[in-house]
Structure 1
C-alpha cells in the first residue's frame, strides 16, 4: 500500500504529519473558495433567510455525515473506536462551551477554522484573533484556565445516560440515518441551485465535507501501519491550534502528528487558493472598538471550544458525522448563542444607537455586515 511505503520511508509520525498537512491543504483551499462558515449560515438563518451561506453549510454537513456512514458500511472505519464514543464525554461542557463558542464566533466574525482561512488571505484581524484563540485554548487545556474548564465539565457527563452514541440512544440504524442524510444532501443541492451559488462553489462545498471522512479513513488506516498507538480522528481546530502553537515553543521534532500538520496545511491551502484566484488582500482593524470585539470573541472561542471538546468544525461537523451526542449538543448551543448574539450585538444595539443619535423622523435602518 502507498501509506505503508510512505511510512517506511518517512516514519509513522512524519507520515501522520504529511497526511494532516495534505488533508488540511485540501480543506483550506476549498473552504476559501466555498466561503464555508457556520457563523454566516447561523446569522443568515436567524435573520429569516435560507440562502447561499446556508446552502454551503448544509452541503458540507451532509457530505461529511454521508461519507462517514459510507466508510462504516464498507468496514473501513468504526465510529466506536473514536475518542468521542469510546470514552465518557461532558454534556455540561458541550452545552456551556458551545454557548461560549457561539458568542465568540459572532464577535470575532468567524469561527476558528474561518479565521485560519481568512488569515491566509491577508486578513490581519483574523490572524491576531487566531493567535489569541490558540493561546487561550492552550491555557484551557494545560494552563491556568484548565481548573475552571475541568470544574465546568464535571457536573454532567455521558456516564449518566450510558452512552454518547446518538444512534444507540435513539435506536436509529445507520441505514436509516444514511437515508435521512441523503435526503438532506439532496435538499441542500436543491437549495444551492435555487440560490444560484454556482457549480464551482457547490463542488467546493462538497469537497470541504469530503475532507472529514477522508481524515477518518487516513487516521484509521494508520492504526494498522504504525508501531505506536495512533488516535483515530478527523478535522478539528481547537486542540490542533493549541498544539501548533506549542510546536513553535518546544524542542524541534518533539510534537509530530496529524494535528500539527493540519493547521499549517489549511493555511497553505487557503493561501494558494486565494493567490490563484487573485483574492489576497491585506486588511486590518477599523479601530480600538473593533479590535476589542475580535479579541474578546477569540478568547471566548478558545475556552469554549476546549470546554466543549470541539469547535464549529470539530464538534459541529466532525463530531456530528459519528453521531456523538455531545457534538450535536455543542452544535445546537453554538447555533442558538450565535443567533442571540447577532440579534443583540449586531442588530438591536446598533438600532437603538441609531435612533438615539437621530431625530425619530430621520432614523434609518442599520446595515450590518454578515461576512468577511
Structure 2
C-alpha cells in the first residue's frame, strides 16, 4: 500500500484524519444498517433470548478477529505496535471501568458508539447523552476527574511497561486468533439463521468488524510511511469523542485519526438512515428517562477512560489484537450490563431492543 503520494500532497496529519474519516464512514453505515449494539446483545443474553442482537455482535467481533488476525499474518499489521498494546495496561481499570461502562450503557440505552450512530439519525436523546459522555471523558482524561481515574488505574498495572498479548501469554500459535474468529463467525451465523435474520443485516454487521480492521491497517501503514511518530489505532469512541470535542473548542487544533473518525461515523450513519427512510427526530419520553440516560452517560464517560476503551474500543478493537486488559474490560462490561438489566430493567419491564 503506497500512501506516500497522499502524504506528500496533503501532509501526515491530514492523511491520518482522512483515514479516520474513511474508517468512520464505513463504521457509521454498517452500524446503522445492522443496528449493532452491545447493550442490546447483553440484554438479550441476560434474558436467555440469543436472538439477532447477539448474532450481530458475535458476527462483528468475529469479523474483526478474522480480518485483523489475517492482516497480522500477512504482515499488514503488527499488533505489538498498536497504541493500546505498547503502553502499560491497567487490570484494575479494566475491572472497575468495565463494570461502570456496562451499567452506564444499560441506563443510557446504548453504548457510546451506538449513541453516536443514533444521534446522526435524529435521536436527540442520544445527542444529549453523547455530549455528556464526551465531556465526562475529557474530564477523566485531562480534567477534574483525571486524578481519580489515575488513582484507580494504578491499583493494579501490567508489568514491563506494556500491555499483555493474550495469544503470547498462553503460548498458542499465531493462527489461533484467526481460528477463534472463524469459529465465532460460524456460531454467529447459526444464531442469525435461527432468528430468521436477513442476509443484508448480516453483511452490514460484518462491515462493522471490517471497519475496525481497516482502521488498524491504515494507521499502521501510515506509521511506516510518516516521518513523525503516528499512533497505530482504530475505531474507539472514548478518546476520539473527547478529542473531537476539544478540536472545535481550542485554538490551533491538531488533525489526527480520532478527529476524522467521529465525523465519519456521523456522516455514514446519517447518509444510511436518510436513504433508508429511517431518519427522524426523537426526544426523551419523560424526565425520569432523561435523568437515567444522563447518569448512564456519565458512568460510560468515566468508565471508558478508566477501562482503556469503550464497547467498541476495548470490546472489539482491542479484543481483535488480543489486548489482555481489553478482553477483561469487555467481560466486565457484559457483567455490569447483565446485572443492571436484571436489577433495573427486568423489574420495570423495559424493552430489550436498543433505540
TM-score by length of 2: 0.97
- The aligned residue for residue 27 of structure 1 is 27
For residues 233-312 of structure 1, what are the structure 2 equivalents within 5 Å?
A: 233-252=233-252, 254-312=253-311
Deviation at 1:85, TM superposition (A): 2.1
Q: Are 1:91 and 2:91 matched, yes or no?
A: yes
**Contact map agreement 1:17 1:257 (CA 8 A) in 2:** yes
Larger radius of gyration: 1
For residues 155-166 of structure 1, what are the structure 2 equivalents within 5 Å?
A: 155-159=155-159, 164-166=164-166
For residues 153-232 of structure 1, what are the structure 2 equivalents within 5 Å?
A: 153-159=153-159, 164-232=164-232
Deviation at 1:189, TM superposition (A): 1.5
Deviation at 1:162, TM superposition (A): 8.2
**Contact map agreement 2:163 2:325 (CA 8 A) in 1:** no
**Contact map agreement 1:28 1:270 (CA 8 A) in 2:** yes
Runs (4+) of structure 1 exceeding 4 A deviation are 160-163
Query: Aligned partners of 2:29 and 2:337: how far apart in 1?
Result: 25
Q: Deviations over 1:185-211 (max 9, x none)?
A: 122112212212101000001111111
Greater shift, 327-336 or 171-180, is seen at 171-180
Q: Are 1:371 and 2:354 matched, yes or no?
A: yes
Deviation at 1:180, TM superposition (A): 2.5
Query: Aligned partners of 1:163 and 1:228: how far apart in 2?
Result: 23
Q: Deviations over 1:154-198 (max 9, x none)?
A: 010111898511112211222223222211112211221221210
Q: CA RMSD in A?
A: 1.4
Query: The residue matched to 1:281 in structure 2 has which SS?
Result: coil
Query: Aligned partners of 2:125 and 2:350: how far apart in 1?
Result: 21
Q: 1:192 to 1:153 in 2, by over 3 A?
A: same
TM-score by length of 1: 0.93
Q: Deviations over 1:21-47 (max 9, x none)?
A: 111011001100000000000000000
In structure 1, the gaps of 5 or more residues are 351-365
Deviation at 1:340, TM superposition (A): 0.5
Deviation at 1:3, TM superposition (A): 2.1
Greater shift, 154-163 or 141-150, is seen at 154-163
Query: Aligned partners of 2:163 and 2:201: how far apart in 1?
Result: 38
Query: The residue matched to 1:39 in structure 2 has which SS?
Result: helix
Q: Deviations over 1:274-331 (max 9, x none)?
A: 0000001100011111110010000000000000010000000000001011000000
**Contact map agreement 1:117 1:266 (CA 8 A) in 2:** yes
**Contact map agreement 2:112 2:238 (CA 8 A) in 1:** yes
Q: Deviations over 1:89-124 (max 9, x none)?
A: 100001000000000000000000000000000000
Q: How many residues align?
A: 355
Q: Deviations over 1:229-275 (max 9, x none)?
A: 100001100000000000111114x2200000000100110000000
For residues 52-63 of structure 1, what are the structure 2 equivalents within 5 Å?
A: 52-63=52-63
Query: Aligned partners of 1:342 and 1:136: how far apart in 2?
Result: 23
